[in-house]
């Protein structure tokens, strides 16, 4: 159960490459959550 594929839309090629190279979807999603939290704090 769960997601087998993630679509990444980003203006940053480096981030996209890191996410593509991450070995599992679970760790990619964890990284995305961390990035979202970081951006939330930066924007405020």
pTM > 0.85: no
Query: Is there a contact between 40 and 20 (Cβ–Cβ < 8 Å)?
Result: no
How is the chain split into domains, by residue range? 13-43
What is the greatest pairwise CA distance in the chain?
Answer: 35
The pLDDT of residue 1 is 42
Are 35 and 12 within 8 A, CB to CB? no
Position 22 scores a pLDDT of 63
Cα dist. 28→2, 3, 23, 39 in Å? Answer: 13, 11, 8, 16
pLDDT tens figures, 1-44 = 455 665 656 666 777 677 676 666 667 778 788 888 888 887 66
């Amino acid at each position: 159960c769960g997601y087998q594929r993630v679509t990444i839309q980003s203006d940053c090629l480096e981030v996209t490459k890191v996410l593509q190279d991450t070995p599992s979807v679970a760790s990619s999603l964890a990284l995305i959550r961390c990035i979202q939290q970081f951006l939330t704090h930066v924007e405020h």
